[in-house]
Amino acid sequence: MLEEAINYIKTKNYIRMSLLCKVQNLNFPKYNFRFKSNENKTLIFDIIRKKFIVLTPEEWVRQHVLQFLISEKNYPISHINVEKQLKLNDTIKRYDIVVFNPNGSIQIIVECKAPKIKINQQTFDQIARYNFVLDAELLMVTNGLDHYFCKMDFENEKYIFLKELPLYNQE
């Protein structure tokens, strides 16, 4: 029994150490995440999808954004949706994160990229194409290191950069 406990602790410490080598510090507050290992893959628990997801650099960013929206900006978990399909010009795409208003309209679309991916015009074009279908009021684009927030100006067909994302129920 004691030997099993020691092996369990060693395994957990090994997983933690291997995680430290795989993940990168991001430009977000520090959050606590749940991890597990399965078939030599590290998994992270997604509180929205309520399941463990393979930890990739983009997923690492996505999980930080979810915590940021919930913990720092006070958006209710029940208003957040992750990685759902979207039909765009007869092709199926997937958005990263969407936050709904209480009336069901979309308040925010978030596009997450891996930290090594630079945010550029193509990234903004991608989220703008998604927004033709979704009509979100706010856009967030991040690679975990650089964050961009925009408010849509539908009348003039442009977006206005914001210093930060507003708190829930504030604009």
CATH number for region 2-162: 3.90.1570
Q: Which region among 1-5, 16-20, 64-68, 142-146 has the lowest average model confidence (pLDDT)?
A: 16-20
Which 3 state secondary structure label does DSSP give 143?
coil
Considering 13-22, 30-39, 66-75, the range whose residues carry the highest mean pLDDT is: 66-75
Query: What is the spatial distance between Cα 90 and Cα 145, in angstroms, rounded to a whole number?
Result: 33
pTM of the model: 0.83
Cα dihedral value 77, 78, 80, 83, nearest 10: 110
Q: Which residues contact 82 (CB under 8 A, 6 or more apart)?
A: 46, 48, 49, 62, 66, 96, 97
Asked if 89 and 74 count as a contact pair (C-beta separation under 8 A), the reply is no
42-97 residue pLDDT tens? 999 999 999 999 999 999 999 999 999 999 999 999 999 998 766 767 777 787 89
Query: What is the spatial distance between Cα 135 and Cα 3, in angstroms, rounded to a whole number?
Result: 57
Q: Which residues contact 53 (CB under 8 A, 6 or more apart)?
A: 43, 44, 45, 46, 59
- The pLDDT of residue 46 is 96
